[in-house]
Chain A
Amino acid sequence: MAAFEIYVQQGCVPDSLRPSLESAIRSACRTVLGPVSLPVNVAWTVIARGCGFRGGVPSTTSLVRGRIPDGCDRETRARFLRTIGRDWCDQVGCAPDEVLVSARDWSWTG
């Protein structure tokens, strides 16, 4: 199983893209991590205009924060993060600097 919380700045990612963005994340889970990462739950949070900042100035950055099954090696995790980031940029039309992707081990409590 995997779970993702996605934070987007209001007005930066059209709602209409959500199904295909979720599909891309599920595809990355299936192809890079394997069946152990299924099913994949995705939750969205919109950061209201005037409430999201980066470096102290208004932000356009999206954050895709995931929890994935334990045991993922460094190389596979990096490939997983890059796959999601690349798909996100392709679909949203944003710069690589405008999406942050993370994937913690499921049992991580740090």
Chain B
Amino acid sequence: MPFYRCLVPKDSLTYEQRERIAVAITDVHCGNSTAPRNFVQVALMDSSPGESVPDSHGSGQVRYDTPYFVAGGNRAGRSEETKANILEGILTRVSQIAAVPREMVSGFISEAPGSWTMEAGRILPDPGEEAEWCRQRTR
């Protein structure tokens, strides 16, 4: 379920940088959680500061004012410390790979219960219950 949309200035990144960002986000997310790597989805999308992106919570729109912005959507149930580590780790890695100051990158992570998402035809487990979920999936 983790879905990270990286809003970046048009033509600012090479394919190699985009791929490195996707791998880095996957590394950070999985390094701070028990989620399998193939759960982590990353989309890099062209955008401009001051725009807004649709988001399926709250008002349905998220506004941002930095050139680079990461809008994440995760399962609920992790500690505040874990959530903060994931977000800070991702924003730091994006700034490093994009070669821009950290202040040019902001973001947020929204959360929802795992039972509100279906993947591979099955309702997702809560964080920490992935191993059993994956075992049942391969039976």
Q: How far is the CB of B4 from chain A (nearest CB, A)?
A: 9
Q: How near does chain B come to A85, taking the closest CB pair, in angstroms? A: 6
Contact call B45/A102, Cβ cutoff below 8 A: no
Binary contact readout B42-75 vs A (1 if CB under 8 angstroms, 0 otherwise): 1111100000001111101000000000000100
Name the residue of chain B whose CB is nearest to the CB of A49: B15
The segment from B85-93, B115-123, B125-133 found at the interface with A is: B115-123
Contact with A along B92-113 (1 / 0, CB 8 A): 0000000000000000001110
Query: CB-CB < 8 A to A81: which residues of B?
Result: 117-118, 123
Chain B, residues 1-32, CB within 8 Å of chain A (1/0): the string is 10100000000000100110011001100000
Known contacts A51-B18, A77-B116; decide if A109 and B40 are in contact (CB<8 Å).
Answer: no
Interface residues of B, count at CB 8 A: 39
Residues from chain A with Cβ under 8 Å of B44 in the complex: 51-52
User: In whole angstroms, what is the CA distance A54 to B20 when docked?
Assistant: 12
- Verify B26–A100 contact, CB threshold 8 A: no
* Contact in complex: B56, A3 (CB < 8 Å): yes
Q: Which of A100, A103, A105 has the most B CB atoms < 10 Å from its CB?
A: A100
By the criterion CB–CB under 8 Å, are B57 and A102 in contact?
no
Closest 7 CB pairs of A and B: A53-B22, A81-B118, A96-B121, A56-B23, A55-B38, A102-B117, A55-B37
Binding site for B on A (CB under 8 A): 3, 5, 7, 43, 45, 47-48, 50-56, 59, 61, 63, 65-67, 74, 77-78, 81-82, 85-86, 96-97, 100-105, 108-110
B interface vs A, CB < 8 Å?
1, 3, 15, 18-19, 22-23, 26-27, 36-46, 54-58, 60, 73, 76, 110-112, 115-121, 123
